[in-house]
Chain A
């Protein structure tokens, strides 16, 4: 519940620190990967130093979706799977806000799958962080759309039989203009990915493999070196005309991104895709408004409605 720590109000212009940004104490199980995501997010906000009141943290439903209670910014906790369309309303309703959405694999890829596709293709300016634990955590261990075949859950006691989705391919296909992947054990990498996502002008999404120690222990060990796994970073093109550079990944190359997404588990981590040229819905709508105002010569609201009614006489 309430952190109830009386922090003196920060006057405008006070730098945002983790202390200021901390709200309720997280209700997650000890050892849950989501703690690290939260810690990285504080660091991201510390680096960005947006005006405090202009940051919005939103979520759907799930363990991971509890996030907004733990971040002291404007924010909210909506219904399961629908945080993205809500956040689209926030972003389009006030273009000055910095909108962050957090949620789980079930929230994002299952019940909210269609919203993900459409918010992404419209390129609404916001940052979406999917904390993928390949299981339904909050509801205590059912198969999720990213659970691997063979995963024993309460709904598949003999092991999951349905083909899981490939999150990176799904995200690339959705039309998202910034797609990255990270791992909750890699705090620096996570921070960098979220930071780049936040700075991206458009719909940016980061999938973070975040272990549920309660219901799917060791799910992502294959990418954790100290557990014998391999941590493969995407080597991004530097455009230095060196011979090595030809081999590096060009994040603007969609086909190359799909290729990376097809790699065998645990695959690579980093920025798969980045498209800086597609206009955001925010900009396109602003343009419609500008053109409409040009046509009406910026008439005041009252005059506009009066002239519309005059045509109905």
Chain B
């Protein structure tokens, strides 16, 4: 986007007198109905930003109703690190009256309200925004000719946006062509017609709305690899493939389904199989059967399905069978808020099975990290012969971000199944070593074939009722997880190394957490931010870090519970016995706004001025000067 664009349309020439205003980033919210193709606009913008060395983050809501109904897509794009989706929008594109009514409050003062004047009547006396009326529907119909009806409004709007933000038309045109490649030539032509019409739409007050993103800061280190743009669920699926996963099984549930859909279509290319099972119990059972044949398999679900998998997860701990289980968390309990975000399954992930089941729980921090965490989960499952839970969430699942393409030649794992003959002293469950199963198909030199089992067992896998062995085997299963903890890197820690407050986040709260820290520091408060990816086992050495702050504020998207603490806060208090640990929790089904985190911190450290500053809305950078 930094490359200046040569206007191809007559409308563009009007611009010659106006210089674009430089902005760092912008939050654009598109609000309409789900059949309007709003997500496609968001997708084009996201990918364009990805191709332009810019960071991009999107925010999407899908209505719970299956089709139709309100839908929004929010893109934050700009130069430098974009950490969160942005609390409020700088520009709102309202397709309908209900879109306007529901979302105008999300617009920052001085922001741009662009509305379809065929459908929307804004409140006239509201002068907080720059209002741009545009007959989006009729202009689209006119541009495309009658047959297409108002399909193509989205491309018209994309054209408008391209004009306002001086986007690279050549790159966008390429993206449009690529997207519809293989489709009917009419479709491509209509899309481009709609786009051009929007781009060329003559309107006086559009003339002053002309922005350009700042040139990128060359100091920002880049890998030199091109950027790719994808959502969190895809990043997980491809992370598994890169990690050598070739088998999996699952049952559909929002927001997990797209992972299984991707793997179902992708794995055959890699010689693998993904099975759609009759339920979640069968899914984890089938995945464990796959793992038993020698290559770590995966399954996954959302909270309700995870509940069903718990018995088999206990078996996996007892039998020391590697497996990775994804939980794309959504609002619970029960069917709860299936299309909203929540982090309320942490305790379930750690403790949700019967018996003593020490196991591993990892949580990615953003879309890029979904890829790397998926790879890490598989590696840990393989190395420690243990179930690993990958806790992501609805927010990450569909959010689109651009990031440097992973260095595949370096990262890609060729997971060969080891069916070599095992020596005569082979034991499936040695007490002094991590279990390495002999997959079915491998000869055992002793001629004694092993049984994998959920009964307590001796080293050879024979069932035992020995109290001593049960204690020894419990210790073995516990100690290997502690051994893993000792190898974990210290969590990412930024800001001051000591001071008034340490903000602790996990999962998708990383970005808002980083931005919140910057705001807290800007207010003159000494603070730090720690983000925990390895939520269980926790890395060692947190005591010393925590001891250097007056307050430890743990922010998470779950309820404060009966004891007044969120789930990670409860774990940290149990682990570190540090009474300075407090919670900021919420369960409104939405990701944290930076302002909510700042307000929470301000309350906990008793900082009235900071709390007050949160209340005053900051004007949009798009505001007219």
Residues of chain B in range 199-255 having any CB-CB distance to chain A below 8 Å: 226-230, 238, 241-242, 247, 249
Question: B294: CB under 8 A from chain A?
Answer: yes
Interface residue ranges of A224-263 to B (CB < 8 Å): none
- Given the interface contacts A9-B447, A79-B315, A86-B288, does A96 sit within 8 Å of B441 by beta carbon? yes
On chain A, the number of residues with a Cβ less than 8 Å from chain B's Cβ atoms is: 60
Which stretch in B55-63, B459-467, B527-535, B610-618 binds the other chain?
B459-467
* Cα separation A85 to B460 with both chains bound (whole Å): 25
Report yes or no: A24 in contact with B440, Cβ–Cβ below 8 A. no
A309 pairs with B288, CB closer than 8 A = no
Query: Residue of A at shortest CB range from B453?
Result: A77
Q: Is the CB of B288 within 8 A of A94?
A: no
Q: A77-B453, A97-B293 are in contact. Are A313 and B51 (CB under 8 A)?
A: yes
Shortest Cβ gap from B12 to chain A (Å): 27
Residue of A whose beta carbon sits closest to that of B272: A289
- Please tell me if the beta carbons of B228 and A312 are within 8 angstroms of each other in the complex: yes
Residue from the list B242, B272, B292, B447 in contact with A90, Cβ < 8 A? B292
Is the beta-carbon distance between B227 and A313 smaller than 8 angstroms? yes
Contact status of A292 and B268, CB under 8 A, knowing A88-B289, A302-B412, A312-B229: yes
A118 touches B452 (CB 8 A): no
Q: Is the CB of A89 within 8 A of B293?
A: yes
Task: Check if B447 sits within 8 Å of A8, measured CB to CB.
Answer: yes
- Any chain B CB within 8 A of the CB of A209? no
Asked if A56 and B271 sit within 8 Å, CB to CB, the answer is no
- Contact at A82–B451, with CB atoms within 8 Å? no
User: Residue-by-residue, is A277-296 near B (CB-CB < 8 Å gives 1, otherwise 0)?
Assistant: 00000000100110111011
8 A Cβ contacts from B429-452 to A: 438-452
The yes or no answer to B71 lying at the interface (CB within 8 A) is no
- Interfacial chain A residues near B278, Cβ < 8 Å: 85, 114-115, 117-118
> When the two chains form their complex, are residues B289 and A79 in contact, meaning their CB atoms are under 8 A apart?
no
Q: Cβ of A52 and Cβ of B295 under 8 Å apart?
A: no
Q: Are A89 and B287 neighbours in the complex by a CB distance under 8 Å?
A: yes
Contacts of A217 in B (CB 8 A): none
Question: Which residues in B have their C-beta under 8 angstroms from that of A84?
Answer: 285
Which B residues lie within 8 Å of A2 (CB)?
458, 460, 462
Determine the main DSSP class of A at the interface with B. helix
Residues of chain A lying within 8 A (CB to CB) of residue B448: 7, 23, 72
Tell me which residues across on chain B come within 8 A of A304, comparing CB atoms.
Answer: 269-270
In the complex, whether B115 has a CB less than 8 A from a CB of chain A is no
B295 and A93 form a contact (CB under 8 A): yes
| Number of chain B residues close to chain A: CB under 8 A | 74
Contacts of A285 in B (CB 8 A): 268, 273
- Within 8 Å CB of A24, what residues of B? 462
Q: B285 and A78: CB pair below 8 A? A: yes
Cross-interface CB contact of B269 among A12, A69, A293, cutoff 8 Å: A293
B287: chain A residues within 8 A (beta carbon): 89
Q: How far is the CA of A73 from the CA of B438 in the complex (A)?
A: 12
Q: Is the CB of A93 within 8 A of B409?
A: no
Given contacts A78-B285, A118-B278, A305-B238, contact A53 B443 (CB under 8 A): yes
Known pairs A54-B441, A76-B451, A77-B451; A296 contacts B269 (CB<8 A): yes
A313 touches B273 (CB 8 A): no
CA distance A306 to B277 in the complex (A): 30
Who on chain A is nearest to B466 by CB?
A: A1
Say whether A264 faces chain B, with CB atoms less than 8 Å apart.
no
Specify which of A92, A301, A309 is in contact with B228 (CB 8 Å cutoff). A309
CA distance A295 to B269 in the complex (A): 8
- Chain B residue numbers with a CB within 8 Å of A88 are 275, 286, 289
Tell me whether B624 is interfacial, beta carbon within 8 Å: no
B266: which A residues are within 8 A, CB to CB?
A: 308
Cβ of B443 and Cβ of A301 under 8 Å apart? no
Instruction: Give the distance to chain A from B180, nearest Cβ to Cβ, in Å.
Output: 14
Question: What's the nearest-Cβ distance from chain B to residue A214, in Å?
Answer: 20
- Contact among A79, A90, A296, A309 for B454, CB-based, below 8 A: A79
B501 contacts partner chain A, Cβ-Cβ < 8 Å: no
The answer to whether A82 and B443 have CB atoms under 8 Å apart is: no
Residues of A within 8 A of B272 (CB): 289
Kindly state the separation between the CA atoms of A308 and B406 in the bound complex, as whole angstroms: 12
Chain A hits for B424, CB < 8 A: 9
Give complex CA distance A270, B307 in Å: 41
A114 partner residues in chain B, CB cutoff 8 A:
278-279, 282
List residues of A (52-86) whose CB comes within 8 Å of B's CBs.
52-54, 56, 68-69, 72-79, 82, 84-86
A4 to B478, CA, bound (A): 29
Q: Which of chain B's residues have a CB closer than 8 A to the CB of A288?
A: 268
B255-276 contact mask (Cβ, 8 Å, vs A): 1 or 0: 0000000000010111111010
- Which of chain A's residues have a CB closer than 8 A to the CB of B312? 79, 82
Among B228, B414, B442, residue most surrounded by chain A Cβ atoms (within 10 Å): B228
In the bound assembly, the distance between CA atoms of A2 and B268 in angstroms comes to 42
> Quick one: which of A9, A89, A296 contacts B445, CB cutoff 8 A?
A9
Chain B residues within 8 Å of A295, by CB: 269
- Residues in chain B near residue A73, CB distance under 8 A: 449
CB distance from A228 to the nearest CB of B (A): 39
Contact, CB under 8 Å: A75 / B50: no
Q: Which residues B270-319 have CB closer than 8 A to chain A?
A: 270-273, 275, 277-279, 281-283, 285-295, 297, 311-312, 315, 319
| A1: contacting residue among B51, B279, B439, B462, CB under 8 A | B462
Instruction: Kindly state the separation between the CA atoms of A91 and B424 in the bound complex, as whole angstroms.
Output: 26
Which chain A residue lies CB-closest to B279?
A: A114
B50 to chain A: closest residue by CB:
A313
Kindly identify which residue among A1, A94, A291, A302 contacts B440, using a CB–CB cutoff of 8 Å: A94
By a CB distance below 8 angstroms, the chain A residues around B311 are: 79
Q: Mark A84-124, 1 if CB is under 8 A from B, else 0.
A: 11111111111011000000000000000011011000000
For residue B262, which residue of chain A has the nearest CB?
Answer: A308
Docked pose: A23 CA to B462 CA in angstroms? 10
CA distance A178 to B507 in the complex (A): 49
Residues of A within 8 A of B440 (CB): 53-54, 56, 74, 90, 94, 97
Residue B408 lies at the interface, judged by CB distance under 8 Å to chain A = yes
Cα A69 to Cα B448 in complex, Å, equals: 11
Given contacts A1-B462, A89-B285, A292-B268, contact A52 B443 (CB under 8 A): yes
10 A-B residue pairs with Cβ-Cβ distance under 8 Å, sorted by A, are A2-B460, A7-B448, A54-B440, A77-B451, A85-B277, A90-B289, A293-B269, A301-B414, A309-B238, A313-B405
| A contacts, CB < 8 Å to B | 1-2, 7-10, 12, 20, 23-24, 52-54, 56, 68-69, 72-79, 82, 84-94, 96-97, 114-115, 117-118, 285, 288-289, 291-293, 295-296, 299, 301-302, 304-306, 308-309, 312-313
